[in-house]
């Protein structure tokens, strides 16, 4: 797919999203094929949303994501321990600014060895199969390259077909050990293209987040005005009786 086609598809899907938001168009499942997905780098201010996302995962999904049966308490502890300075945490937001997909790229630098990173991801059940998991991995790879990371590592359960598909498609080497699979992806060195791509993708994601946030404020303002008008009308009606 050419860059021009990707841009056109992105503009087209953004337009549809605005129309869905404004109620002009009925909500339909987004078609993300060939569209640039806005992937937003998260910071500590998003912690409540990150927690809400992970707590919404079912017991089985938590097992797939963390490799153990993570309780609510484990999730709170994991979130409180997130290092936003060192690591990259990404989110994909829906129009209500709920995190529907998130990824954690944990950087592990040791002065004696080359820098490596571990990747973990989760997508809310209703938003799966749209390519969000794969796009988050691609986004993490760009950042890892720019941070001079030489290898990304993914730990997955062997039953986790979509995760293993994402790793395999990226060219990672898979090592299966019974119910567990480790995937290693060696990264090429950063270049001008990886630097510019990261800058552009970030700017697009930030602009998309601002638009969603402004639109959310506008619709909540409008619904408040409507509530007030209804209250006033109700009051007038009662005093007329």
Ligand X SMILES: CC(C)(COP(=O)(O)OP(=O)(O)OC[C@H]1O[C@@H](n2cnc3c(N)ncnc32)[C@H](O)[C@@H]1OP(=O)(O)O)[C@@H](O)C(=O)NCCC(=O)NCCS
Residues in touch with ligand X (CB under 6 A)? 61, 64-65, 120-123, 128-134, 156, 160-163, 165-166, 169
Min CB(41)–ligand X separation in Å: 18
| CB distance 116 to 155 below 8 Å | no
Identity of the residue, 139 or 212, whose beta carbon is nearer to ligand X in the bound complex: 139
Sorted by sequence, the CB contacts under 8 Å of residue 117 that are 6+ apart come out as 105, 106, 107, 108, 140, 144, 147, 149, 151, 152, 153
User: What string of DSSP letters covers 49-77?
Assistant: HHHHHHHTS-HHHHHHHHSS---HHHHHH
Identity of the residue, 177 or 238, whose beta carbon is nearer to ligand X in the bound complex: 177
Give me the residue whose beta carbon is nearest to ligand X.
133
Min CB(103)–ligand X separation in Å: 8
Min CB(173)–ligand X separation in Å: 17
| CB distance 183 to 172 below 8 Å | yes
Identity of the residue, 68 or 112, whose beta carbon is nearer to ligand X in the bound complex: 68
Min CB(202)–ligand X separation in Å: 20
Identity of the residue, 67 or 235, whose beta carbon is nearer to ligand X in the bound complex: 67
Min CB(208)–ligand X separation in Å: 18
Which among 34, 139, 27 is positioned nearest to 92, based on CA atoms?
139
Identity of the residue, 74 or 190, whose beta carbon is nearer to ligand X in the bound complex: 74
User: What string of DSSP letters covers 159-203?
Assistant: T-HHHHHHHHHHT-EEEEETTEEEEEEE-PPP-HHHHHHHHHHHH
């Amino acid at each position: 797919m050419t860059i021009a086609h990707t841009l056109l598809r992105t503009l087209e899907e953004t337009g549809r999203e605005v129309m869905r938001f404004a109620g002009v168009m009925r909500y339909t499942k987004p078609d993300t094929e060939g569209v640039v997905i806005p992937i937003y780098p998260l910071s500590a201010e998003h912690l409540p949303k990150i927690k809400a996302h992970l707590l919404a995962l079912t017991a089985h999904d938590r097992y797939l994501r963390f490799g153990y049966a993570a309780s609510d308490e484990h999730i709170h502890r994991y979130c409180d321990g997130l290092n936003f300075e060192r690591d990259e945490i990404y989110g994909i937001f829906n129009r209500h600014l709920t995190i529907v997909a998130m990824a954690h790229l944990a950087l592990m630098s040791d002065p004696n060895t080359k820098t490596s990173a571990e990747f973990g991801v989760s997508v809310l059940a209703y938003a799966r199969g749209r390519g969000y998991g794969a796009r988050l991995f691609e986004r993490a790879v760009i950042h890892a390259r720019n941070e001079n990371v030489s290898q990304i590592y993914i730990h997955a359960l062997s039953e986790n077909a979509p995760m293993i598909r994402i790793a395999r498609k990226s060219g990672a080497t898979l090592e299966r050990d019974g119910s567990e699979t480790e995937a290693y992806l060696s990264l090429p060195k950063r270049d001008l293209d990886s630097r510019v791509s990261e800058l552009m993708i970030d700017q697009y994601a930030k602009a998309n987040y601002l638009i969603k946030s402004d639109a959310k404020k506008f619709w909540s303002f409008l619904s408040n005005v409507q509530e007030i008008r209804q209250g006033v009308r109700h009051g007038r009606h009662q005093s007329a009786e």
